[in-house]
Structures are given as C-alpha cells and as structure tokens.
Amino acid sequence: MTTLCDLALEVLETKEAAAKAALSRSHAAKWYANRSMDIGHANPPERPARPAKPDLISPTEMPRRRGQSDAARATLLHAVLHIELNAIDLAWDMIARFTAEGFPRRFYDDWVQVADEEGKHFQMLSDRIADFGFSYGDFPAHDGLWEAAWSTRHNVTARLAVVPMVLEARGLDVTPAMIDRFAKMEDFASADILKVILDEEIGHVATGNRWFHYMCLKTNMEAKKHWQKMVRENFRGLLKPPFNEDARRRAGFSPDYYLPLSTPVSRS
Ligand SMILES: [Fe+2]
Ligand SMILES: [Fe+2]
C-alpha cells in the first residue's frame, strides 16, 4: 500500500520543476482523499532531484532587477519561483525525514497543506513569467535555502526554527515591498499573485511555530530560549530588520523571540 512517505519521496525524486509542482498538488489531494493512508518511513535523498537549469550561483552574484521591462519583472518573479520550488521539496522533506518523532496525523495534514500551497505558488508564478515569455530556469538562482535545510537535517526543532520561522518569515518581511513595486508599475496581475502568496505564507510560519512549540512542550524545553539557541547554532548571521511585525504576529510569532537576534535598526 502506498504510504505518505512514498508520495513524499516521489515528489523529492521528480526532476522537472513543473512536474514536481503538479505532483505536489496531486499527491496532497491523494492524502486528503484517503484518511486511512499510513505515514510509512523513508530515507529522503540528500538533495532533491532538480532540473539542469537554473545555474546556481552565490547570492551576491544575483543579477540586479531594475526597471519595468518584461525581463526585469520576470527576473524578480523568478527569484520567488525558485524559492517556491525549494519550498515544495522542504515541505515533503519535513514529512519524510522526521517520522521517528511519532508526530500525530495533524502534523502531516499541516505539512501536506503547505506542500500543496507551495505547488500552487510555483504554478501561479510560472504562469505569470510565461506571460513575459520566460520559464523556470531562464535566470540564475541561489542555493541558500537548501543549504539551510541541509544543516538542520538531524534535528526537527532546528529545522522548524530555521526553515519556517526564519526563512519563510523573511518572506513575510520582504513581500509587501515587492507587491508595492508591481502595483506602482500597474502590474496588478503580478501583485495579486504575491498577495495570495503572502497570505498563505503567514499560515506556513504559523504551522512551523505551532509544531516548534509542540516539540518544546513535549521535551520540556523553554520555547523562546530554545528557538534562539537553534537559530544561533544553525543560521549564519543576524536576522535582518525591518520585520513585518503584523504578519509575524498573525503567525503567532512575537518580537521578543526574534528582535534579540536581529541587527540593530539603523536610525538615519
Ligand atoms: Fe510559497
Ligand atoms: Fe511557504
């Protein structure tokens, strides 16, 4: 019988990006349609399968994204598109990697929902850059997301602290400015897609936050202290303000967690 971990592995091992996104969505539907499906066990790959393109470069080498041309807009959206592809793999990796923790079924429902939404985000952005004549892989991208995930592969609280609660939370901070930028160009189609993403990403941060606290309660750890420790040990550098405190708060994430780990806000 097919288990949830079998479905997760299939997504992780799918190379082509559009196929991976489609499978993420259809496998999520399978899980929700079969309430007796077992979780199973898996040995997720060190690196998920990916297409030959885009070229992966260091974040500092990323091309500038000025102007309003189709290529400039597609470059901007492609950076998010690449994050969404990573996010698909990260959600299924979360499902497959930590089965020994004995999480309740709700944990899997939550991460399958995240995987489904990341697949949707990928598809929406992919359709949008197709309007500009581009597709996934046409611009270089960076590998920082998977690197952060890799360094937390042995510890579920480290993974939860860094992936949803640092990296996805960072998305909440930077997306409103992108929405404004597209709105100012009167590209409301792109702005609307980013609004959907922002809204659903609040849910992803909330999911990470909820299961991080669940683990802390279960193992008798003080959540704030443990979160800060996990971030210090597993995330290079300081967190970068300004923070979208409102969105973070809606995800159940309060400033007394992250402000002590942030660079000082410059007052100029
Ligand atoms: Fe997303
Ligand atoms: Fe997400």
Are 94 and 173 members of one domain?
Answer: no
Q: Which ligand is closest to the CA of 167, given by its number? A: 2
Are 206 and 252 members of one domain?
Answer: yes
Are 171 and 248 members of one domain?
Answer: yes
Task: Please tell me the predicted confidence (pLDDT) of residue 126.
Answer: 98
Q: Which ligand is closest to the CA of 164, given by its number? A: 2
Are 142 and 218 members of one domain?
Answer: no
* Domain of residue 176, residue span: 157-268
Q: Which ligand is closest to the CA of 197, given by its number? A: 1
pTM over 0.85: yes
State the distance from the centre of ligand 1 to the C-alpha of 143, rounded, in angstroms: 16
% of the chain with per-residue pLDDT over 90: 87
pLDDT tier at 98 (50, 70, 90 boundaries)? very high
pLDDT tier at 265 (50, 70, 90 boundaries)? low
Are 133 and 246 members of one domain?
Answer: no
Task: Calculate mean pLDDT across residues 31-35.
Answer: 96
CA–CA distance, 66 with 181 (Å, rounded to integer): 11
State the distance from the centre of ligand 1 to the C-alpha of 248, rounded, in angstroms: 15
State the distance from the centre of ligand 1 to the C-alpha of 39, rounded, in angstroms: 24
State the distance from the centre of ligand 1 to the C-alpha of 82, rounded, in angstroms: 10
Task: Please tell me the predicted confidence (pLDDT) of residue 57.
Answer: 85
Q: Is residue 120 predicted with pLDDT exceeding 90?
A: yes
Per the DSSP assignment, residues forming a β-bridge with 56 are 141
- Asked if the structure places residue 190 within a domain, the reply is yes
pLDDT tier at 220 (50, 70, 90 boundaries)? very high
State the distance from the centre of ligand 2 to the C-alpha of 116, rounded, in angstroms: 10
State the distance from the centre of ligand 2 to the C-alpha of 169, rounded, in angstroms: 9
Q: Which ligand is closest to the CA of 119, given by its number? A: 1
Structure tokens at 82: 């690449």
Identify the domain boundary among 131, 150, 169: 150
Are 52 and 182 members of one domain?
Answer: no
Task: Please tell me the predicted confidence (pLDDT) of residue 268.
Answer: 45
State the distance from the centre of ligand 2 to the C-alpha of 123, rounded, in angstroms: 14
Domain count, the chain: 2
Are 129 and 214 members of one domain?
Answer: no
- Asked if the structure places residue 74 within a domain, the reply is no
State the distance from the centre of ligand 2 to the C-alpha of 118, rounded, in angstroms: 6
Task: Calculate mean pLDDT across residues 180-200.
Answer: 97
Structure tokens at 229: 């420790």
Are 176 and 244 members of one domain?
Answer: yes
